[in-house]
Amino acid sequence: MSIPILSIRDFRVKVEDTEILKGVTLEVKGGEVHAIMGPNGTGKSTLAAALMGHPKYEVTGGSVTLNGEDLLAMDVAERSRAGLFLAMQYPSEVSGVTNADFLRAAINARRDENDQISLIKFIRKLEEKMNLLEMDPSFAHRYLNEGFSGGEKKRNEILQMLMLEPQIAILDEVDSGLDIDALKVVAKGVNSMRGEKTGFLIITHYQRLLNYIRPDFVHVMMQGKIVRSGGPELAEQLEAQGYDWLKEELGIVDETVGQNV
Amino acid sequence: MSVDIKSLDQERIRRFSESRKEPQWMTELRIQAFEKAAQLPWPKVEKMRIQRWPLQVVQPSGGIQEEAFDAAVLAAYKQDMPWLDDAAPNLLVQENGTTRFVRMDEELKRQGVILSGLTEALQEHEALVREHFMNAADVEENRFTALHAGLWNGGLFVYVPRNVEVQLPLQYLSYFTGQGNGCYPHVLIVADENSSLTVVENSVSHAAASGVHIGVTEVHVKRGARVRYVSVHLLHEGVVDVSYRRAHVDQDGRMEWVLGEMNDGHTLAENDSLLRENGASSVSRLIAIGTGKQQSNYQSRNRHIGQHTTSEIFSRGVTRDASWLIMDGVTKIDKGARRADGRQEQKVMMLSEQSRGDANPILYIDENDVQAGHAAGIGQVNPEQLYYLMSRGISKKEAERLIIMGFLEPVVSRIPVEGIRQQLLTVIERKLQA
């Protein structure tokens, strides 16, 4: 299989009547880890949700392709089947649907009808991945995210990523609300997937996640655009000095966009 | 109004009762109830005009089964109802009120448990039947209850003696066949002190069947007893189904209703628990799907009289096409029912623009020292949930299906007979297919 490429060009998105993304350009390839940093309200999560196709976001310009295919022409499910994955900041709870049933449906959705995963293979894989993420086996039979703590939800997002083996994985603030042990477990899950077959786009406020998942590229978003790109040393500088020096350099007074979206 | 009572008269009812060798008191009860029916009003159902439903009240069908029961009968029914658990140790099958098959575990018989057709029980356990028949339900409540008492033509009798715990469910299959028939099954359950049991009632019609089905279920939960009554109704479009389910719960007794209302025709169903002594409790879980032009009305009620009584109502409805579904919960706490706790939650998911769903939680509280809570919601499939499932590659249609099945799961998972649970799922899937 060739190396996957997510190619984002001059991507513009609005919510209701407010333009949030004002021309984002970025390329993520298999084997690369990109981190997007930036203060609250600068458009980072909008980028993640709009790439996945959340119905609230309206694309007003630009293009996004995954392996040369027009991602924006696909519905949400098609984007996933094409190889895109989003670990969400606030995953939904779905009562009455067990984690295991949901995951099996998701795996089978990307397989041929005559080639559905066998129950034994599925259970083996699920046990292996849950083991890696140090999840209690009972989580397989609990209803999807219902009554899960914040940390449990995040682990469950990573579990889904490991089960679905996406080509491009976006992690939207997967570190928020996690204690250091949970953070290490999440990082272990992500690192177990690193390799040519998968590219990562990691959205975070804080540098601390990047101590465990070392990025190849770091981008800073402000006012709905990428305003600075660099290597891992950029993240370290932001951690040490905050964002003010960068705002000053760029002549930005208010880095947010829209109404703190 | 299309009720045709003229074809019936006292004389016919007397002959019907006598043909079934019923005791004199029952014949009289029938005639008096039938006479009252004409004077009593139809039940008052908010908003819905049930008088416009096709209610052909007709001569009850069925007589007494004279031939010996044998397993060949079951094989024939299994052709029509492949999910029938024909190996079940405790099973009673009736067609249009006539008992066609009955089997009960020998050990339960030795313990004094009774599983019988109600008509047969009237011969063999007359005193028990007489003490409890139309006692939790009231003959004079309305025209339906009176008609039922006058015309009942089959049903189930279950008695579990003191301290006996019945582990496996007692299964009752009621099969409705023929056109323009009247079926009036009466289920009478007496759970003596500290006993426990589960009854699974499955009311099914032949695809071509039509007529009226007016059933009454009475459950007497004595001190410390626990009864779970599971009812799955799968009646076709040509059948109007009316169900009155009533439980009297004594001290520390527990009543649990698990109701799968999957008819295609108009349906009026009520389940009431009267928590008449201290420590009594009731839980009711109900699911229903409205399709086509179906009108359906489900009332779940709890009345607290005793102290420290608890009740819970949990109802889930789905509406499609041009159906109309009403789901009410009524919690009534009488003065003196201190420390009572009554909860309810109704949710209706509307899948079409033309369908209509109403969920009404109603609380009447005449005592200060109580806890009560209610929640009701009407909406569509939650778009955030849909987005989430789709973001994992699941198609919109399949995602909707998963969300709806999950919505109904709290009742489906509580059906203790595998075959009936699977058939319920099959019918749910059929109803949800576009």
pLDDT digits (tens, 9 = 90+) for B396-413: 999 999 999 999 999 999
Nearest CA in chain B to A170: B391
> How far apart are the CA of A161 and the nearest CA of chain B, in angstroms?
9
Q: Which helix (H) or strand (E) holds B255?
A: strand B254-261
Residue B63 pLDDT > 70, yes or no? Answer: no
User: Is residue B409 within 8 angstroms of chain A, CB to CB?
Assistant: yes
Check if B403 contacts A (Cβ < 8 Å): yes
Burial grade of A12 (CB within 10 A; 0-12, 13-18, 19 or more): middle
- List the one residue out of B322, B314, B317, B381 whose CA is nearest residue B342: B314
Asked if residue A121 is part of any domain, the answer here is no
Q: Which domain holds residue A217?
A: 5-93+166-250
Into how many domains does chain A fold? Answer: 1
Work out the mean pLDDT of chain B and round it to a whole number: 93
Segment B54-63 mean pLDDT: 68
Q: Residue B2's pLDDT is what?
A: 39
In this predicted structure, the answer to whether residue B130 has a pLDDT above a threshold of 90 is yes
**What local confidence, expressed as pLDDT, does residue B1 receive?**
32
pLDDT value of position B123: 94
CA nearest to A96 within chain B: B406
Q: Which residue of B has its CA nearest to A92?
A: B385
Contact A199, A170 (CB under 8 A): no
Q: What percent of chain B has pLDDT over 90?
A: 82
Q: How far apart are CA A36 and CA A233, in angstroms?
A: 13
pLDDT digits (tens, 9 = 90+) for B278-331: 999 999 999 999 999 999 999 999 999 999 999 999 999 999 999 999 999 999
Closest residue in A to B404 (Cα) is: A96
Instruction: Report the b/e string of A88-125 with b at 16+ CB within 10 A.
Output: bbebbbbebbbbbbbbbbbbbbbeeeeeeeeeeebeeb
Whole-number Å distance between alpha carbons of A96 and B91:
30
Q: Please give, rounded to a whole number of angstroms, the shortest distance from the CA of A142 to a CA of chain B.
A: 12
User: Which chain B residues are within 8 Å of A81, Cβ to Cβ?
Assistant: 393
Q: Looking at beta carbons, which residues of chain B come within 8 Å of A83?
A: none
Please identify which residue in the block is written with the tokens 């002549």.
A251
Over the stretch A123-177, which tens digit does the pLDDT of each residue have? Answer: 999 999 999 999 999 999 999 999 999 999 999 999 999 999 999 999 999 988 8
Residue A143 lies in a domain: no
Distance of residue B332 Cα from the nearest chain A Cα, in angstroms:
29
Which pLDDT does position B3 carry in this prediction? 44
Reported as a pLDDT band with limits 50, 70 and 90, residue B62 is low
- Check CB contact under 8 Å for A80 and B385: no
- Residue B316 in contact with residue B289, Cβ under 8 Å? no
Residues from chain A contacting residue B375 (CB–CB below 8 Å):
none
Q: Is B388 in Cβ contact with A94 (below 8 Å)?
A: yes
In a domain, A155, yes or no: no
Strand ranges (DSSP E) for B1-148? 91-95, 98-103, 114-117
Closest Cα of chain B to A210: distance in Å? 25
Q: What is the pTM of this model?
A: 0.90
Domain with A218 in it: what CATH number? 3.40.50.300
The reply to whether A11 falls in a domain is: yes
Q: Are the CB atoms for A76 and B391 separated by under 8 Å?
A: yes
**Ordered DSSP codes for B275-335:** E-STT-EEEEEEEEEE-TT-EEEEEEEEEE-STT-EEEEEEEEEE-TT-EEEEEEEEEE-T
B389 and A CB contact within 8 Å: yes
Res. B164: pLDDT tops 70:
yes
- List, for chain A, all residue ranges whose pLDDT scores fall below the cut of 70: 1, 259-261
Q: Report the residue from B385, B393, B407 with minimal CB separation from A80.
A: B393
pLDDT digits (tens, 9 = 90+) for B315-371: 999 999 999 999 999 999 999 999 999 999 999 999 999 999 999 999 999 999 999
Structure confidence by residue, pLDDT tens digits, B64-92: 555 556 678 888 899 889 999 999 999 99
For residue A56, tell me if it sits in a domain. yes
Q: Is B339 exposed, middle or buried (0-12, 13-18, 19+ CB in 10 A)?
A: middle
pLDDT at B51: 81
A38 found inside a domain: yes
Q: Is residue A222, in this structure, part of any structural domain at all?
A: yes
- pLDDT for B65 equals 55
Interface list for A 57-96 with B (CB within 8 A):
75-77, 79-81, 85-86, 88, 91-96
A72-86, A111-125, B49-63, B178-192: least confidently modelled range: B49-63
Q: Is A97 on the interface with B (CB under 8 A)?
A: yes
Contacts of B387 in chain A (CB under 8 A): 54-55, 76, 92
Chain B residues near residue A85 by CB distance under 8 angstroms: 391
Quote the tokens at residue A160: 């889904």
Distance between CA atoms of A5 and B315, rounded to whole angstroms?
49
CB contact under 8 A, A96 and B409: yes
Shortest CA distance to B392 belongs to which of A88, A97, A80?
A80
